[in-house]
């Protein structure tokens, strides 16, 4: 419970000025930020400062740049991300939801002040003859014009409104961090989609290269068959291998086209339009220095953790709201104006009327409704507390899994590269034997298949390092706290499908 002094000031065009000094207490618990996890690292063993195998360095405690994707040094990637941040509909939807949450806060804060209403009511009426005349002059029927001003104010003695505002502010913060999560997810998905496109393109290139090699061997065997140095079964086996290699191309090309469509959709464009970036692994640069935030920093950086904390904050404030509902309410109202049968003389002093009234209300019996609402609010707080703990544990697991993946990626790439070199040597020897007329078709087919598999594994291992590096930046929060400029906010005209700025909407 917190006790505060609140000073109210309200003015109106009718010269109403009220200054109320009210010392009051906000019932219910004051929110306390959850404690940071009592861990100093993510993995059981300390992270190596550097790894010769990976060529990347883990730097604990280093801050994360807001535009972390620029560390890949790809102008094409930067352009697609920038286009997406300007046009992605999900991001703009999150911004609109955030604006609505802030408006709800402003609307509730209006209840701090008195409610003032002006009313003008002209009537013509006739009273029954058996009733005494309503007017002293006695005409019947008669006209009656009434102009009045009504003022009402509810004293926030127990902090009901303040706790409600506190809850709504927390929910607005939830929307803010959900926007940051959407922002981070969008940028990460674009980077991963670009890496996936580069990987698929590399796999297509490797398959085309093998097809060219297999075609060359097929032609060699055909010439040897014509010269009587090879048999038909050897040529048939090589032709089958060529057909098999060609059959792997359509699925790769389909995946490549669909991934490109995904990139365009993330950028807020239709498949027939949008940025036309082409991504290859050779054009992407792997960041060397990888920041690793401390666990105590992680709870301040991860948008999902911050959102869960604000959900807990809102639930805490709702306990105060439920508590205040059980206590007396105090309101004051005033009504004043002028009433006359002639509009021309409505504002004459003798036509003035007014009244002032106070009201105190206490629920005496409700069959336990308010009590159970309070207990439900406390249980909701407990649920939010456990959810918060679950999110923190999941975030730490996410970081740990990503760190382990990065360490394994370097070893996987090194093993794949060794496999590729060995497979290339085996293929070259098999090709030499075939060209010299000492063809061992089974050896040649196995060498061709092994080389294709090894080449694709190298491409996939290289792509995994890029994807897992992006995943690390996402797991650590993405650097949203270092944003220098606010995100671009737009509004959509559903009739035309055209987007404009907020300033254009409010004109």
Please name which of 245, 291, 229 lies closest in space to residue 478, comparing C-alpha atoms.
291
CA atoms of 155 and 331, how far apart (whole Å): 6
Can you give the pLDDT at residue 14? 33
Determine if the peptide bond prior to 273 is cis (ω within 30°). Answer: no
Phi, psi at residue 469, to the nearest 5°? -65, -45
CA atoms of 470 and 68, how far apart (whole Å): 9
pTM of the model: 0.87
Question: Does 5 score more than 70 pLDDT?
Answer: no
In tens, the pLDDT along 107-146 reads 999 999 999 999 999 999 888 878 777 777 778 888 889 9
Q: Name every residue whose Cβ is closer than 8 Å to that of residue 190 and which is 6 or more positions away in sequence.
A: 69, 77, 80, 81, 84, 263, 266, 267
- Residue ranges of alpha helices (H) inside 293-368 are 295-301, 303-325
CA atoms of 15 and 10, how far apart (whole Å): 10
In tens, the pLDDT along 464-480 reads 999 999 999 999 999 99
Mean pLDDT computed over 231-260: 92
Give the chain's length. 507
Please give the structure tokens belonging to residue 297. 């920093």
Can you give the pLDDT at residue 18? 37
Can you give the pLDDT at residue 345? 86
CA atoms of 419 and 425, how far apart (whole Å): 10
Can you give the pLDDT at residue 22? 43
Mean pLDDT, the chain, rounded, equals: 88
Please give the structure tokens belonging to residue 31. 């929110």
CA atoms of 41 and 58, how far apart (whole Å): 13
Three-state helix/strand/coil letters over 381-422: HHHHHHHHHHHHHHHHHHHHHHHHHHHHHHHHHHHHHHHHHH
In tens, the pLDDT along 195-234 reads 999 999 999 999 999 999 889 888 988 888 888 777 888 8
pLDDT band for position 433 (50/70/90)? confident
CA atoms of 224 and 216, how far apart (whole Å): 12
Phi, psi at residue 424, to the nearest 5°? -65, -40
Percent of the chain with pLDDT over 70: 92
CA atoms of 145 and 125, how far apart (whole Å): 11
CA atoms of 425 and 356, how far apart (whole Å): 100
User: Which of 179-183, 289-293, 457-461, 496-500 shows the lowest mean pLDDT across its residues?
Assistant: 496-500
| 354 strand-pairing partners | 336
Question: Does 507 score more than 70 pLDDT?
Answer: no
Q: Are strands 498-501 and 490-493 parallel, antiparallel or unpaired?
A: antiparallel
Mean pLDDT computed over 428-438: 83
Q: Name every residue whose Cβ is closer than 8 Å to that of residue 425 and which is 6 or more positions away in sequence.
A: none
CA atoms of 425 and 432, how far apart (whole Å): 11
Can you give the pLDDT at residue 15? 33
Within a 10 A sphere around the Cβ of 282, how many other Cβ atoms?
9
User: Which of 190-194, 274-278, 400-404, 500-504 shows the lowest mean pLDDT across its residues?
Assistant: 500-504
Question: Does 38 score more than 90 pLDDT?
Answer: no
Question: Does 84 score more than 90 pLDDT?
Answer: yes
CA atoms of 182 and 186, how far apart (whole Å): 6
Can you give the pLDDT at residue 47? 74
- Measured distance between the N- and C-terminal CA atoms of the chain, rounded to whole angstroms: 44
User: Which of 77-91, 147-161, 270-284, 336-350 shows the lowest mean pLDDT across its residues?
Assistant: 270-284
Can you give the pLDDT at residue 499? 77
Burial of 258 (0-12, 13-18, 19+ CB in 10 A): exposed
CA atoms of 434 and 444, how far apart (whole Å): 8
In tens, the pLDDT along 269-298 reads 888 886 667 899 999 999 999 999 888 899
């Amino acid at each position: 419970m917190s006790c505060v002094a609140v000073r109210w000031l309200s003015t109106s065009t009718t010269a109403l000025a009220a200054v109320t000094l009210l010392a009051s207490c906000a019932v219910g618990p004051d929110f306390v930020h959850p404690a940071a996890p009592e861990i100093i690292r993510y993995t059981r063993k300390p992270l190596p400062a550097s790894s010769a195998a990976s060529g990347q360095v883990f730097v604990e405690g280093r801050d994360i740049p807001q535009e972390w994707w620029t560390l890949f040094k790809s102008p094409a990637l930067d352009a697609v991300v920038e286009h997406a941040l300007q046009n992605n509909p999900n991001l703009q939807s999150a911004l609109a939801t955030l604006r609505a949450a802030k408006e709800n806060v402003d609307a509730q804060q209006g209840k701090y002040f008195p409610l003032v209403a002006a009313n003008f009511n002209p009537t013509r009426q006739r009273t029954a003859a058996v009733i005494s005349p309503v007017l002293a002059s006695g005409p019947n029927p008669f006209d009656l014009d009434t102009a009045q001003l009504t003022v009402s104010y509810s004293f926030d003695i127990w902090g009901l409104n303040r706790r409600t505002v506190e809850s709504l502010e927390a929910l607005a913060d939830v929307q803010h961090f959900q926007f940051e999560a959407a922002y981070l997810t969008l940028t990460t998905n674009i980077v991963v989609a670009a890496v996936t496109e580069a990987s698929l393109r590399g796999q297509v290139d490797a398959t085309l290269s093998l097809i060219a090699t297999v075609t060359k061997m097929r032609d060699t065997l055909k010439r040897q068959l014509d010269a009587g140095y090879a048999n038909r079964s050897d040529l048939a086996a090589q032709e089958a291998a060529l057909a098999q290699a060609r059959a792997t191309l359509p699925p790769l090309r389909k995946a490549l086209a669909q991934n490109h469509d995904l990139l365009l959709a993330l950028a807020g464009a239709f498949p027939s339009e949008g940025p036309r970036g082409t991504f290859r692994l050779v054009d992407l640069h792997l960041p060397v220095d990888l920041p690793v935030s401390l666990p105590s920093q992680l709870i301040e950086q991860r948008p999902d953790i911050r959102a869960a904390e604000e959900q807990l904050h809102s639930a805490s404030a709702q306990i105060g709201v439920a508590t205040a509902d059980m206590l007396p309410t105090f309101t004051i109202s005033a009504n004043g104006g002028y009433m006359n049968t002639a509009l021309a003389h409505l504002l004459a002093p003798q036509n003035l009327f007014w009244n002032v009234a106070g009201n105190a209300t206490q629920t005496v019996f409700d069959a336990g409704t308010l009590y159970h609402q309070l207990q439900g609010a406390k249980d909701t707080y407990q649920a939010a507390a456990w959810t918060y703990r679950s999110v923190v544990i999941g975030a730490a697991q996410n970081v740990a899994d990503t760190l382990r993946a990065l360490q394994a990626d370097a070893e996987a790439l090194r093993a794949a590269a060794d496999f590729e070199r060995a497979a290339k040597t085996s293929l070259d020897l098999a090709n030499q034997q075939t060209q010299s007329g000492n063809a061992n078709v089974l050896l040649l087919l196995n060498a061709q298949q092994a080389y294709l598999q090894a080449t694709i594994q190298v491409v996939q291992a290289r792509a995994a390092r890029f994807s897992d590096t992006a995943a690390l930046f996402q797991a650590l929060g993405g650097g949203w706290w270092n944003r220098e400029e606010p995100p671009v906010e737009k509004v959509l005209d559903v009739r035309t499908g055209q987007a404009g700025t907020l300033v254009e909407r409010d004109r």
